[in-house]
Structure formats: C-alpha cells, structure tokens
C-alpha cells in the first residue's frame, strides 16, 4: 500500500530532502508587480528570485491559494493515480485559504476517484485526509519530516492520522522578522491587524529586531534585540540547548530568507550543527521558499523543533 504526503509551497524543507522522499508540492500562486508566478519550490527559480530583488519590500506582492478546482485537478491527475493513501498537510488555516480549498477538493475527489484510478491501472480503494498543520514555514517542514518518519513505521491509516494531528501541538517555532514594516504591510493587505503600526514604527526607529516564539503560528515576542545577528545568536543558543536537552523527533527545521552565503555566515549555526550531529538529530536547513519569503519578508529566519512544554528563556 503506497502512502503519499502532500505539502503546500509554504512548507520549507531542503530540496534534496523533498526529492529523496518524493514529497508532492501543492503550488501557491505569487503575484509580484502584476506578474504571476507559480511557486513549486523549484530551487533554481527560488535562487533567481533572491538574486533579482523581486522579493524586496518595494514590490507589490501577494500570494494566492490554488482554487478548489485547481487542487481537485492536481489530486485527480497526480495523487489518486499514484497512491492508495494520501495525507495533505497545509499551512495553518488561520493564515491561508489553502486548507479550506484542499478540503473541498478532497471531498470531490473521494466522490469521483474510481474512474481515474481504474484508468491508471490501480486497484483497491483510495483514502485521503487533509490536515491543518497549525504551522508556518519551518514548522510545517518539521511536521512533514516527522510524518514521513511515521509513514516509514507502517502505521495504520487511522493511527497515522491520529499521530500527525496530535504532534502538531508539540512543535515550537522561533521567527525573526527582518523588517516589521514589511510584515505590517503584508498583514494589512490580508486584513490581518495582528502587527500594529506602533510596533512596526518602534522596530524601525529603534532598530529593534524581535524574536517571536510559541507553538505553531501563535508566536509572541520573547526577546527584543538591537540587531539581526544578536537575535540569531539567541535563537541558535535556544535550539542548541534544546537539542542537548532532548527532542520528540530527531529533526530541527531551519529556513532562512537569505542567500546561501549569508546563511553559512549566520552566528551560532555551526554550534547548532555540531549539537545535532552529536545527538543524532538531522538539521533540515533550507532557503526560505518564495511563498514564505513573501509572507514574512526577505532576510527573515524561521526555526522549528518539537519538545516537551518549555519556555524560550529556559534555554538561554
């Protein structure tokens, strides 16, 4: 019985990891300066975006979820015909329409899959589940990596679904936004008022770089620093200490809206690498995808891991 895992373009994972595990990417449409791009997480295209400057805040940009009809077509053509069981993990439903559209598409697929499946020469029933990851970016990537680990354990489909849905509440995420003004403008266009104009102004005027920390997408400021480098150092200190204390899954997911040269120069990255290697943890280091970079702004950073309940300050 073949089990397939689907994630959307907001999920940040290393390209080689996605290719090795045959992850199916549900694209997101990006509209930048009136030009439409489909984000399929192609590493060459992503690098071109970083080098071209298209992701900078001066460009009017937004992301759009694939419609129910578009997702339905993808599921029917590429999922029903290849897998017996499919799990689709989407970016948190509180920030995107993807979960809703994918759920509607799944319902239509389940009512109409038999003919397409028979034409592809696949026998037996098809089962599918759409799961709200409750995560963003690196957090979604961590959940996908853990799900693949569970799939490898050959759990029943009900046990697999239960384990994945339970695990979403055990993921902790750190986000360092490079530019609060960028986030506020993007949030304003989406109708999200969670980032106030005052916070954005103070961040710019006083050169404050915050560290946001919490479970899933519900992060709160836990540190205010005077530079991006100091904020990164705090996050690396946290992650290194948390790895040494123990994790619930042997992965740390880290995505950065930077060039690879800048990523390699991040303070504390090598210490985190060493800690992961000593404790048998895989560091899933990736360049932030187009979708996530547009959402949070170029130059930002997102780190996720899974652990028992704790506070950011416990590991400083």
The whole-angstrom separation of Cα 309 and Cα 291 is: 29
Residue 85's pLDDT is 96
Q: Report residue 256 CA to chain centroid gap.
A: 11
Residue 178's pLDDT is 85
Whether residue 5 contacts residue 90, with contact meaning beta carbons closer than 8 Å, is answered with: no
Q: CA triplet 188, 191, 192: central angle to 5 degrees?
A: 80
Residue 292's pLDDT is 87
Count the Cβ atoms, other than its own, within 10 Å of residue 308. 11
Within 8 A by CB and 6+ apart from 147, the residues are: 5, 87, 89, 160, 164
Residue 31's pLDDT is 83
Residue 240 region by backbone torsions, left for phi larger than 0, else alpha for psi between -120 and 50, else beta = alpha
Which pTM value belongs to this model? 0.92
Domain 3-169 has CATH 3.40.50.10170: yes
**Angle 269-278/228-245 helices, nearest 10 degrees?**
10
Domains of the chain, by residue range, sit at: 3-169, 170-315
Q: Hey, what are 154's tokens?
A: 């050959």
- The architecture of the domain spanning 170-315 is 2-Layer Sandwich (3.30)
Number of alpha carbons in the 13 Å side-chain half-sphere of residue 204: 11
Q: What does pLDDT average to in each consecutive run of 10 residues of the chain (316 residues)?
A: 93 94 91 81 81 67 88 96 96 92 98 94 94 96 98 92 95 91 70 60 71 88 91 98 98 94 96 98 94 86 97 92
Residue count of the chain: 316
**DSSP H or E segment with residue 145:** helix 138-152
Q: Hey, what are 83's tokens?
A: 């897998």
Exposed / middle / buried, residue 220 (Cβ in 10 Å: 0-12, 13-18, 19+): exposed
The whole-angstrom separation of Cα 81 and Cα 114 is: 10
């Amino acid at each position: 019985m073949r089990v397939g895992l689907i994630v959307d373009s907001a999920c940040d994972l290393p390209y080689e990891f996605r290719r090795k595990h045959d992850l199916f990417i549900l694209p997101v449409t990006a509209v930048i300066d009136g030009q439409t791009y489909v984000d399929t997480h192609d590493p060459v295209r992503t690098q071109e975006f970083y080098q071209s400057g298209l992701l900078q805040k001066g460009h009017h940009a937004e992301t759009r979820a694939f419609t129910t009809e578009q997702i339905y077509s993808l599921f029917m053509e590429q999922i029903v015909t290849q897998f017996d069981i499919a799990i689709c993990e989407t970016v948190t439903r509180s920030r995107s329409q993807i979960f809703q559209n994918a759920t509607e598409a799944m319902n239509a697929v389940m009512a109409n899959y038999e003919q397409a499946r028979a034409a592809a020469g696949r026998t037996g029933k098809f089962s599918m589940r759409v799961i709200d990851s409750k995560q963003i970016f690196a957090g979604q990537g961590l959940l996908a990596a853990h799900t693949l680990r569970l799939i490898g354990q050959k759990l029943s489909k009900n046990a697999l679904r239960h384990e994945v849905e339970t695990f979403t509440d055990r993921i902790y995420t750190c986000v360092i936004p490079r530019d609060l003004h960028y986030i506020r403008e993007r949030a304003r266009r989406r109708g999200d008022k969670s980032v106030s104009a005052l916070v954005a102004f103070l961040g710019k005027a006083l050169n404050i770089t915050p560290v946001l920390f919490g479970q899933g997408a519900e992060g709160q400021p836990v540190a205010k620093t005077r530079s991006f480098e100091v904020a990164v150092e705090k996050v690396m200190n946290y992650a290194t200490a948390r790895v040494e204390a123990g994790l619930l899954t042997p992965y740390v997911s880290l995505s950065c809206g930077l060039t690879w040269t800048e990523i390699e120069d991040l303070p504390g990255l090598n210490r985190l690498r060493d800690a992961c290697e000593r404790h048998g943890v895989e560091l899933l280091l990736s360049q932030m995808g187009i979708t996530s970079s547009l959402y949070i702004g170029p130059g930002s950073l997102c780190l996720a891991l899974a652990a028992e309940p704790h506070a950011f300050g416990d590991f400083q």
